[in-house]
Amino acid sequence: MMAPTHLSELPHLVVRMLKDPLGTVRRPLDFSWPLIVALLAGCALISGAVAGAISRSFFDFLVGIAIFPITSVITATVFGFFIYYFFSLFQSTFLDFRRLMSLVSVAVVPYFLFHSVSTYLPPIDLLGFAFTCVLLIVGLVEQFGLPRRLCSQLVGSLGLVFFVVWIVSQIRNAGTL
């Protein structure tokens, strides 16, 4: 088992993720809790700030730097718990939750990158989440030795939920324009 990666290693980790996201999720990940939270909140803060700045709305910018990081950490944690309890209850497989959250924190980075420009092209959020789903599947299979088909079905279901929520959000936003 590798030692936890600490907060001081965050810049190196981000560069490695951007250069080779699939290779990053294939290798065992074991981040410290502060690194997991910093990665999630930091990426969300940057993504939200850029999206807010692009929209040229001071309110959107404030939401991007104050609310989006908090909701992103909470959402990623809910994702982690969902995956953890799914495999615990239905497969009797108990995953190391910190390692799982390390994987989730890396897998959501593409979503944050694409979300930054979603003001111009909202469906790009879907592309970013699709990349996130691919990284989650690869990571679950490679790091935890879980069945590819089951991981694909589980993560695909999460992707479908995201798609439905995104559609409802787009319809609601279109009504407020």
Q: 70-100: per-residue pLDDT in tens? A: 999 999 999 999 999 999 999 999 999 999 9
Indicate whether 95 belongs to any domain. Answer: yes
Report yes or no on whether pTM surpasses 0.85.
Answer: yes
- pLDDT (average), residues 93-111: 96
**14 belongs to a structural domain:** no
137 occurs within a structural domain: yes
For the chain, give the mean pLDDT: 91
Specify the number of domains making up the chain. Answer: 1
Q: Is residue 8 part of a domain?
A: no
Residue 15 lies in a domain: no
Sign of CA dihedral 143, 18, 108, 68: positive
Residue 101 lies in a domain: yes
**Is 12 contained in some domain?**
no
Q: Which domain range does residue 65 map to?
A: 28-175
Q: pLDDT digit string (tens) for 139-169?
A: 999 999 999 999 999 999 999 999 999 999 9
> Which pLDDT score is estimated for 159?
95
19 located within any domain: no
